[in-house]
Structure 1
Amino acid sequence: MNWRLASRLSVITLAIVVVIVVALIQHQRTNVPAQSGGATTSTTSTLQLQGTDLGGTPAPGFQLTDQYGKTVSLAQFHGKPLVVTFLYTHCPDVCPLTAEHLHTALLQMGSDASKVGILAVSTDPKGDTTQAALQFSTEHNMQNSWHFLTGTQQELSPIWSKYSINAQSFKQSINHTTALYLIDKQGRERVYMGDDFQPAQMAANLKQLLQEK
């Protein structure tokens, strides 16, 4: 091969490489998400619920008495997203914080807050009277935003068991499992959230469940 042919081949090879590089650059540019104000917008239309996936199994039903002495059942919330949590009224730390976070989540939801339900099931049959439930609810601005459900040991124990809640009295406090179950409009358990949840996470989950049929 003489030097002229070698030179021509080198030029052709270089031209091919340039074409390939330009094509790659253009491809990358067309696949970069549009940005506005420095924030990347997602093209994903389906969001994921935040928390531990529960697989959509039917939520165990129950019926108890709320802070106003009214009988409330889980079944009556069919057609609404629902939060089921487990608290006691004289809890010194986690339960009040859970109540405050739920209140904040409802505020963040705006008008959609009235379209969801929240049930707080007592873990203290002896200490959680109807009066105590109303006082606790009022202190945390939840008196008209949830149902704080109380009952006897015989009424509450089967519910704790069905929702994998361990509740034991220890001196002046109750050691119990902290849990928030998100149930969809069809009465199916969708997500479990721990007591470290943030109001924005809860609000986002509930809004997504509202959008589902």
Structure 2
Amino acid sequence: MATKRINVIIAAALFVLGALVLVYAATQLAPQAGQSSAGSSVGGPFSLQDQTGATVTDESLRGQPFVVFFGFTHCPDICPTKLFELSEALNALGDDAEKISVLFVSVDPERDTPDILARYISSFNPRIRALTGSPEAIDGMVKAYRGYYRKVPTEGGDYTMDHTAVVYLMDSEGDFVAPLNMERPAEEVAADIQRQL
């Protein structure tokens, strides 16, 4: 009986110790707002086309911080809301908005052609570029950003898309800084972006 009690105490102590190690690791490794997580496993090479047909790559963005958001034009709520919030943050940046790129990457290349993206994105800040490409190119970028998307059939033979709703802030070297918390006033979001300029 005493041995069983000792084993339970040891197991509980090991559990607590393991939890403390995980908490410590999370606090030490997570990037803080305004700091780059150099060597982060989020982000990587990509080559897509914007709404004008111009090629956009990770290399073409070097030297300038950028923001990435994955979505699609048939998205009923999350995408237009995030794009509106990003537009407000760009407005709050004033002239500094010229020093950053904001990328809306479609996870629905089947429907989101450059022409459709051009019409859709025209409702938001003109600094936002909408990107599309082959399914393989989109899939590669989403995986590089540790994102997720999936086609979900709906009634009548149509479909919608489940997708990651993270807004990624990247520094001028293409390294992940932190997810942008859009649940704040535009001025606070703009301040996070401005720290990368």
Q: Where on the TM-score scale, by shorter chain, does this alignment land: which range?
A: 0.7 to 0.9
- 2:77 aligned with 1:93, yes or no? yes
- 2:50 aligned with 1:66, yes or no? yes
Q: CA deviation at 1:71?
A: 0.8
Alpha-carbon contact 2:36-2:177 (below 8 Å) kept: yes
- 2:115 aligned with 1:131, yes or no? yes
Alignment CA distance shift 1:164-1:87 (3 Å): same
- 2:193 aligned with 1:206, yes or no? yes
Equivalent residue of 2:51, what SS?
A: coil
The residue that corresponds to 2:149 in the other structure is: 167
Q: CA deviation at 1:136?
A: 1.0
Alignment CA distance shift 1:112-1:105 (3 Å): same
1:118-138 Cα distance to aligned partner (Å, 9 max, x none):
111111121111111101111
With the length of structure 2 as denominator, give the TM-score of the two structures. Answer: 0.74
Partner Cα distance (1:208, 1:108) in 2: 14
Q: Percent identity?
A: 30
Partner Cα distance (1:189, 1:148) in 2: 20
Equivalent residue of 2:83, what SS?
A: helix
With the length of structure 1 as denominator, give the TM-score of the two structures. Answer: 0.69
List runs of 5+ in structure 1 lacking aligned partners: 1-47
Match for 1:193 among 156, 180, 183?
A: 180
Equivalent residue letter for 2:176: E
Alignment CA distance shift 1:204-1:195 (3 Å): closer
Equivalent residue of 1:77, what SS?
A: coil
Root-mean-square deviation over aligned CA pairs: 1.9
Alignment CA distance shift 1:107-1:84 (3 Å): same
The residue that corresponds to 2:138 in the other structure is: 156
Partner Cα distance (1:105, 1:81) in 2: 14
The residue that corresponds to 2:93 in the other structure is: 109
Partner Cα distance (1:120, 1:197) in 2: 20
Equivalent residue of 1:90, what SS?
A: coil
Partner Cα distance (2:97, 2:131) in 1: 20
Structure number with bigger Rg: 1
Query: More relative contact order in 1 or in 2 (CA 8 Å, sep 6+)?
Result: 2
